[in-house]
Amino acid sequence: MINYKEKLQSIKAFVFDFDGVLSDGSVWTLADGDMIRACNTKDGFALQYAVKKGYIIAVISGGHSKSIDNRMHALGVTQVYTGCGNKIDTYNQFLIDNNLCDNQVLCMGDDIPDYPLLQRAGVATCPADAAVEIRDMVDYVSHYTGGHGCVRDVIEQVLRLHGQWFHPDAVVW
Q: Specify the CATH number for the domain of residue 90.
A: 3.40.50.1000
| Predicted local distance difference test score (pLDDT) of residue 167 | 76
Decide if 23 is inside a domain. yes
pLDDT above 60 for 172:
no
Stronger pLDDT, 167 or 46, i.e. the higher one: 46
pLDDT above 80 for 168:
no
Could you give the number of structural domains in the chain?
Answer: 1
Segment 5-22 shows an average pLDDT of 96
| Residue 50 domain boundaries | 9-161
pLDDT, averaged across the chain: 93
Q: What is the pLDDT of residues 63-112, one digit of tens each?
A: 878 889 999 999 999 999 999 989 999 999 999 999 999 999 999 999 99
Contacts 24+ apart (CB under 8 A), 151-156: 151/16, 151/21, 151/22, 151/40, 151/43, 151/46, 151/47, 151/108, 152/40, 152/42, 152/43, 152/45, 152/46, 154/14, 154/106, 154/108, 154/125, 155/14, 155/46, 155/47, 155/49, 155/50, 155/55, 156/46
pTM (2 decimals)?
0.93
